[in-house]
Amino acid sequence: MASRDRSVSLHSPSLWPTWAGVWLFRQLCKLPWTAQVRLGRFFGRLIFHVVRLRRKIVSVNLDLCFPEKSRAERHALALAHYESMGIGIFETGMAWWGPDEKLPPFTIIGRENLEAASEGGRGALLLTAHFTTLEICGRFFVDNIPMGGLYREPDNRVIAHEMYKHRVAKMKPAIPMDDLRGLLRGLRDGATIWYAPDQGKKSKFAAILPFFGVPALTNTATSKIAQMSGAAVVPYFGFRMEDGSYRLEILPALENFPTDDANEDAIRINRLIEDQIQRAPEQYFWMHRRFKRRGKGLPNVYR
């Protein structure tokens, strides 16, 4: 994978294969959307049967989170997830390069909730999670409602370039993932900022807390961010519907948040995300090692 090193030219021969892939997907964006969805589902199924490494991660996650389902049901859910990921690749292409007139239909529900939370110039932390519909729903959202967001730059220079040009540049403000001061500044200035705390990492703002009843490294920073910025925490989720349309839902701002117990606040957020996952479990990003680095006494479930 290409380095983040800015001294590497975007025209370096080492990046030509990635540029070829970008060109290909830009051409595929010209197909009718229904054809792209069929291709995405096909590629997802193909990858499911060919690439075993990530399939093991998905299988472990589903075993832990849905023990009430039979083995056959979890297998079917894993396959549906891969199909959703395949469609998500084409959704990313449409989100970055698709003209407005070729985008699939969508509905935004709950604008009034964000407006109420933002009264008086108050910032809003748009609380969400990593679903496979992230990119295309982000395009729908930012094209209709001003929104900033946190972003992590990909390793590949070409993908980072295209992501910044077509996604990050639309976010006002666009804030690097580790820039807490920039996030607080944006919220204090009244911005609405996309924020997904569902992929925990080791830090002073992390704790081992239940996710689907299973101990998981969990981000507890949401309470601190809300407290320091004075921003409302407004849940938002986007789903791919059975009829091919998309539904973006902005829920009412969390009441009595934050409290003086950051762990309890994080558990409340985990439960909120779990409820949304249950609505379309195949659309959640199960390829992430959600239950890694949990400390002593808890096994490495991915080994």
The DSSP string of 154-177 is -SSHHHHHHHHHHTGGGSSSEEET
Mean pLDDT on 102-119: 96
Rounded to whole angstroms, the Cα distance separating 206 from 219 reads 5
**pLDDT tens digit sequence for 1-28:** 334 555 568 888 888 999 999 999 899 9
Give me the number of domains the chain comprises: 1
**Domain of residue 115, residue span:** 13-283
Question: Average pLDDT over the chain, rounded to whole?
Answer: 93
pLDDT at 296 over 90: no
pLDDT digits (tens, 9 = 90+) for 165-176: 888 888 999 998
Tens-digit pLDDT profile for residues 133-153: 999 999 999 999 999 998 888
Give domain status of residue 5, yes or no. no
| % of the chain surpassing 70 pLDDT | 97
User: What CATH number corresponds to the domain at position 234?
Assistant: 3.40.1130
Neighbours of 215 (CB within 10 A): 16
Alpha helices in 29-97 (DSSP H): 33-50, 53-65, 71-97
In a domain, 152, yes or no: yes
Asked whether residue 288 is assigned to any structural domain, the reply reads no
Q: What is the pLDDT of residue 64?
A: 98
Pick the closest to residue 222 from 197, 202, 187, 241 (CA basis): 197
pLDDT band at 103 (very low <50, low <70, confident <90, very high): very high
- Of the chain, the percentage scoring pLDDT greater than 90 comes to 78
Kindly state whether residue 154 falls inside one of the protein's structural domains: yes
CA dist., res. 153 & res. 144, Å (int): 24
Task: Examine residue 249 and state whether it is found in any structural domain, yes or no.
Answer: yes
Cα dist. 77→10, 61, 152, 205 in Å? 39, 11, 28, 32
In a domain, 85, yes or no: yes
Does 1 fall in a domain?
Answer: no
Residue 119 and residue 231 in contact, taking contact as beta carbons nearer than 8 Å: no
